[in-house]
Structure 1
Amino acid sequence: MFTERLNRIAAAGTSRGYTRVRLADGLMVYIKTKPHSTDLEEVYLSPGLAAPDTDAWEAELDELVLTGQTASGTLYLEVPTDAVGELIERHGGEHEEQDADFPPVGYQIHPADEAGYYPVHRDTQRLGRIARRGRTWQVLTLGGTQWFGAFTSSEQAADHLLKLAEAVNKHTARQAEWHVRDALAAYGLTPYRESQALIGEGPTSWLVIGSDTDESRCITGGGPYLVVYLHNMADEDEVTIDRPVTDADEWVTLIGADGPESTPVQVEGRTFPAADTAALAAYIAAWRVAPGEIRWAALDADHDRRLAALNAAASRI
């Protein structure tokens, strides 16, 4: 049985007061806890609601005060979240009518896994995971490899995963360009499109992001810039944003700046799997903040790749 309200409370916390869960039979459970809780700090069971005789419910207080008034129920300390879930299930689950402090949303937060990550679903569709890092929350998209974001609450993080999924579904059959544009829009970035027809090789197209506020600056206009495009991993020469994305694709970034005599000098930045558009956008947003640092990191990585290739070639001689 899915205890949606309890899961959201355990992830988000309850601030300083108590948050109640109405059970299907009308009884109440009151919870007080911090965000990202595997053990709930205080669990108050209203009169008529008895706790199971297990170790999870041992820390009982006989006398208590709840929200400034004497209460006749029972208060327990440090109760595992899954134990409270089992109690709710025994009473038929959560009632359809609940307080408005956790309004209805289009996603469902599931209990934390062994690593402390919360899976987020939309009905039967898994959207990704959220995790608490210090005082903020980060997200990992389904199929993604890199955590990103700094959301103030679990609810904001889960909502961001939902919006990303909706954007992907909206443009599933559209061109690769829109996948990047939608992902960058979450960071307030608007890329500039460029293309070129190459004789004998077909057309090429890509997106450019400038490091300053002039988003329409082309790559020959001076200043640091970043290029992003899609290619099929079986065809490294492909450069395009003008076809739908497939599982065999990869996002490529090139980091550039003007060299001697204003000649653009480019170095390959990070590459990302086709499904990891969100991590691609996070990387571009980080580059926008510190283009020099990320460019030097790309140069170091390029140097290491070249050195490894030389060593491999020398070993075959």
Structure 2
Amino acid sequence: MFTERLNRIAAAGTRRGYTRIRLADGLMIYIKAMPNSAVLEEVYLVPDLAAPDTDDWEAEDDELVLTGQSASGTLYLEVPADAVGELIEQHGGEHATQDADFPPVGYQIHPADDSGHYPVRRGDQRLGYMARRARIWQVLPLGATMWSGAFASSEEAADHLLKAAEAADRHTAHRAEWVLRDALAECGLPLSRGSQAVLGQGPTSWMEIEQLHRPPYRMGDEPYLLVYLRRQDDEDEMTVDREVTDADEWVALLGDDDTQLRGATFAAADTAALAAYVVDWHRDPEATWTAALAADHAHRLAALNAAATRS
């Protein structure tokens, strides 16, 4: 069972005061802790809440003083945070309604591992780790190799990891490969990513749409369709590994085992037309090839005529 509030308290501390956790059954636990605490300084249990009969709960304070007032519950000293977590689980976990001192956030802080590093997650996704060094917190984002940052609190460190992940999500969502995957998702056709290093040009990448039907084709053994992004002023660029800009265009490249032919180009924002073209190609690849071949011949003829006119 995940004890989100307890984990955040153990990491952040309680500023020398007490912070309470409401349990699922309505009972209360009050905690005092320093930041980065595997062992909590003080844990107060209300009268109806009994501590487990274990060594973790042996250090009982006979002179109970809580927030300046006497109380009839039991105060324990130096209790491991994981022992408090086990007690919370025995009472059904943490109540959905808690005090507003730790407002809802989009991340979850997990207990520190043996190295003192706190995993930070967003649901099933690991965002990275955070650790307290001296009086500051540092972070190790997912995929990073070095610790960085100087955050005043664990909450700030975890929030930084969340924002870094959200920025990466936005970047990924706008990267050409994922724009294509989203645009072509309703086509129901298999997509595969291809890449190759081209001498003098650098790495290239593209998305290949597979042909599900396999009758004999006059145009070759098996047709294929590649889609990639390029800048409008760069004939050589072929990529799906960067973000899409307004200055880009999509290129649909037709081919078989023998030949290749540019089928069509589409504006960066015109992914609906690109998807329609893919569907038409899949329905009748030979007709698409014939139309592209005719367009290519017309383009070449127009270029020759223009050159003859200039001369």
Pairwise TM-score range, normalised by the shorter structure: 0.5 to 0.7
The Cα offsets for residues 260-315 of structure 1, whole Å up to 9 and x where unpaired, read as: xxxxxxxxxxxxxxxxxxxxxxxxxxxxxxxxxxxxxxxxxxxxxxxxxxxxxxxx
Q: Is 1:120 the equivalent of 2:120?
A: yes
**Residue 81 of structure 1: aligned partner:** 81
Equivalent residues, number: 186
**Residue 217 of structure 1: aligned partner:** none
- Residue 38 of structure 1, CA deviation: 0.4
- Residue 174 of structure 1, CA deviation: 4.0
- Residue 142 of structure 1, CA deviation: 1.4
**Residue 209 of structure 1: aligned partner:** none
Q: Is 1:201 the equivalent of 2:200?
A: yes
User: Structure 2: how far apart are the matches of 1:77 and 1:63?
Assistant: 12
User: Structure 2: how far apart are the matches of 1:96 and 1:73?
Assistant: 23
CA contact (8 A) 1:130 1:139 kept: yes
The structure that has the greater radius of gyration is: 2
- Residue 62 of structure 1, CA deviation: 2.2
**Residue 108 of structure 1: aligned partner:** 108
TM-score (norm 2): 0.57
- Residue 61 of structure 1, CA deviation: 1.3
User: Structure 2: how far apart are the matches of 1:173 and 1:155?
Assistant: 27
**Residue 244 of structure 1: aligned partner:** 241
Identity level (%)? 74
CA contact (8 A) 1:174 1:244 kept: no
CA contact (8 A) 1:173 1:244 kept: no
Letter in 2 for 1:92: G
- Residue 141 of structure 1, CA deviation: 1.1
Letter in 1 for 2:130: I
**Residue 36 of structure 1: aligned partner:** 36
| Secondary structure, aligned partner of 1:171 | helix
User: Structure 2: how far apart are the matches of 1:244 and 1:20?
Assistant: 49
**Residue 150 of structure 1: aligned partner:** 150
Of 19-28 and 139-148, the range deviating more from structure 2: 139-148
Alignment of 1:199-278 (within 5 A): 201-202=200-201, 244=241
User: Structure 1: how far apart are the matches of 2:200 and 2:174?
Assistant: 23
The Cα offsets for residues 198-219 of structure 1, whole Å up to 9 and x where unpaired, read as: xx93489xxxxxxxxxxxxxxx
- Residue 173 of structure 1, CA deviation: 4.7
Letter in 2 for 1:27: L
**Residue 57 of structure 1: aligned partner:** 57
**Residue 7 of structure 2: aligned partner:** 7
- Residue 124 of structure 1, CA deviation: 1.0
User: Structure 2: how far apart are the matches of 1:67 and 1:77?
Assistant: 16
5+ unaligned residues in a row in structure 2: which ranges? Answer: 177-198, 204-236, 243-311
Alignment of 1:118-197 (within 5 A): 118-174=118-174
Residues 27 and 173 (structure 1 numbering): CA distance in 2 closer, same or farther, change over 3 Å? closer
| Secondary structure, aligned partner of 2:130 | strand
Letter in 1 for 2:52: P
